[in-house]
Structure 1
Amino acid sequence: MEKRLLNSIPQTDCDALWLLLRNGDKKGLEGLYRQFSHELFKYGLSMVRDEGFVQDCIQEIFIDLWKYHLRLNKADNVKVYLFKSLSNKIIRELKKARKRKTEEIQEEIYSQISIESIESSLINIQREKTLQAKLAKGLEELPLRQKQVINHLFFDQFSYEETSKMMGINLRSVYTLAWKAIGTLKKHILSLAIVLIFLF
């Protein structure tokens, strides 16, 4: 898989921009936006397939960063902080939407959860169309939290500890969600293998 641009950004540069932001210099905010907005957008789409909604959430995050810059603390990892902020923002906005809409609309929202970023990574690993379709079906059927964990760990390349912080759950829960998700995907692959044996 092609190395992400985000991973090539030196942490020291991020820390410098974060310090500028905390000191009230808009160059810090603008620099962070230029470096992270594209990856944040792709990440947001991996949670919700609604470009306008994701863009609004990203804009609100950076508006809040500037609005409350005097209250910001030193970030141990700027990348994790921004991804976690977006994840929390999306989840909060989805919860608000659920309260306003009927049960039918709620199901529609969750049916739109995107697996495009996961599928593109799997395609690079395995070119077999039949296997791609089977894996995609398995990913599509995963609950939201399991899908988030898989996306964080294997495609955004976060550690288990970083994933724990971003999702606001303990480390053991991350391992449990990942174990359940991988177990489900293995079943899809196994069923495909059985079919191929009988076909060939």
Structure 2
Amino acid sequence: MNLVPLKEDGIPAESFLFKHGTTVSEGEQVVWNALREGNRKALDYIFEKYVKLLYAYGGKITKDQGIVEDAIQDLFVELWQKHAVLGATDNIKFYLLKSLRRRITRRIAVDQRKLGDHALQEDYFREVESSRESTIIQQQTTVAQQEQLTRGIAELSDRQREAIYLKFYEKMSYEQLAEVLDISLTSTYKLIGKAVDALRKSVRIIS
């Protein structure tokens, strides 16, 4: 999708869009409201700021880059086509991640039905303490530990990998994570717990 940030009288789009905002939340509202009002620079800015994140996140859901690319393109096309009826938000990243996930999982479900598989596989998880979860992710600071962590994450299920990415790398709260993944809060704790338990077994934690 060839969206390029526009400029007005030599002023970068982001400077124009953020001139009224003083905080991150306010700035997000300014950009989003500008998009809702039909400001193309707002769409360009959102695309340039979040497209790499969306590709990275999409890759946690499916290894099919074609699906990811199509979903991202469709997402931004729809944002522009339906800008006048978009709801308000002060967290654009959260909105985009949730929307992208919905599109990708819908596409996967359609593809699976075509193959005769009528449901996405569900994972069932065991809850562990939140403080221990944070420790496991945050303590991996040496090169060797980072390599162990990378291998451990690669061995997780797609669902677990996605949850770990959102929780510890995108810093989502459990409430936000539950909404994005479209599962209950209890299931979210169990999902993260199971993933971290698996990492604990594959990653050597140095106390």
Taking structure 1 as the reference length, the TM-score comes to 0.71
Tell me, in whole angstroms, the C-alpha distance in 2 between the residues paired with 1:187 and 1:35: 36
Equivalent residues of 1:161, 1:171 under 8 A apart: yes
TM-superposed deviation, 1:20: 1.3
1:132 and 2:147 correspond: yes
Q: 2:194 aligns with which of 180, 187, 191?
A: 180
Aligned residues: 166
What residue in structure 2 maps to residue 147 of structure 1? Answer: 161
**Which residue number corresponds to residue 111 of structure 2?**
97
Structure 1 counterpart SS, 2:88: coil
Structure 2 stretches lacking a partner, 5+ long: 1-22, 122-136
Greater helix share, structure number: 1
* Amino acid in the other structure paired with 2:163: V
Task: Using the TM superposition, give the Cα deviation of residue 137 of structure 1 relative to its aligned residue in structure 2, in angstroms.
Answer: 4.5
CA offsets 1:151-188 (integer angstroms, 9 cap, x no match): 11112221212211211222221111111111111122
Residues 41 and 55 of structure 1 are in contact (CA less than 8 Å); yes or no, is this contact kept in structure 2?
A: yes
Deviations 1:45-100 (A, max 9, x none): 23223333322211100111122222211114211001111111111111111122
Is 1:59 matched up with 2:73?
yes
* 1:34 paired to 2:56: no
Q: Which moved more, 1:39-48 or 1:138-147?
A: 138-147
Residues 47 and 148, structure 1, Cα contact 8 Å, conserved in 2 = yes
CA contact (8 A) 1:14 1:32 kept: no
Q: TM-score, normalised by structure 2?
A: 0.69
Structure 1 residue runs of 4 or more that deviate by more than 6 Å after TM superposition: none
SS at match of 1:128: helix
How many angstroms apart in 1 are the aligned matches of 2:201 and 2:190?
A: 17
Give the Cα separation in 1 of the matches to 2:144 and 2:106.
Answer: 38
Alignment pair present for 1:72 and 2:78: no
Percent of pairs with identical residues: 30
Aligned equivalent of 2:38:
24
Please tell me the residue identity of whatever aligns with 1:87: R
Unpaired runs of at least 5, structure 1: 1-8, 108-120, 194-200
Distance in 2 (alpha carbons) for counterparts of 1:175 and 1:126: 27
